[in-house]
């Protein structure tokens, strides 16, 4: 199979980001709705956590092994440092959601994760990917080598 072009890889990454964003949003809405209607938060809270543990955090970890090291130099180095800090922040918020003992805390925590993740995604889509695509020494297709956590 030929190596995908930068544009094909960037499109796949952005499409996967949109899927992750929609899937997280759906589960956070389900948690909010459950709590609003007086149900126990646990089943919906577990569904949010299962998604974070099996999809979102593995996605972040895969980036730290591929596109982040490629961007961690020159003009994008500080951006990548800030984005790594956001990954750490997301991980801390996921731990907070896991430990949330009541419904209000669980909803607050899930909403914070959603807001943080959405602002993080726009940095990847609109700042980091264009910079990597403009760098002739970077091949996104080679870098990602079919990583399904990033390409979907
Ligand atoms: Fe990321
Ligand atoms: Fe990402």
Q: Which residues have beta carbons under 5 A from ligand 2 (an ion)?
A: 124
Name the closest ligand to CA 85. Answer: 1
The reported pTM is 0.95
**3-class DSSP assignment, residue 82:** helix
Say how many Å lie between the CA of residue 145 and the centre of ligand 2: 16
Say how many Å lie between the CA of residue 39 and the centre of ligand 1: 33
| Domains of the chain, CATH where assigned | 6-135 (1.20.120)
Q: What is the mean pLDDT of the chain?
A: 96
d(CA 143, CA 123): 19
Q: Are 39 and 56 in contact (CB under 8 A)?
A: no
Q: Are 66 and 56 in contact (CB under 8 A)?
A: no
Q: Give the pLDDT confidence score for residue 146 in this predicted structure.
A: 86
Residue 1 pLDDT > 90: no
Burial class (CB in 10 A: 0-12, 13-18, 19+), 44: buried
d(CA 63, CA 94): 18
Q: CB 48: neighbour CB atoms within 10 A? A: 26
pLDDT digits (tens, 9 = 90+) for 70-108: 999 999 999 999 999 999 999 999 999 999 989 999 999
Name the closest ligand to CA 120. Answer: 1
């Amino acid at each position: 199979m030929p190596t995908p072009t930068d544009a094909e890889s960037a499109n796949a990454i952005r499409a996967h980001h949109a899927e992750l964003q929609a899937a997280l949003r759906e589960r956070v809405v389900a948690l909010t709705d459950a709590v609003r209607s007086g149900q126990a938060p646990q089943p919906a809270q577990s569904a949010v956590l299962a998604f974070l543990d099996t999809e979102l955090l593995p996605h972040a970890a895969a980036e730290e092994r591929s596109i982040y090291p490629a961007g961690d130099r020159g003009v994008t180095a500080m951006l990548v440092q800030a984005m790594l800090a956001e990954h750490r922040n997301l991980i801390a918020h996921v731990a907070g959601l896991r430990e949330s003992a009541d419904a209000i805390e669980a909803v607050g925590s899930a909403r914070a994760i959603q807001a943080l993740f959405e602002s993080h995604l726009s940095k990847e889509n609109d700042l980091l990917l264009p910079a990597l695509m403009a760098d002739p020494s970077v091949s996104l297709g080679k870098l990602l080598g079919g990583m399904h956590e990033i390409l979907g």
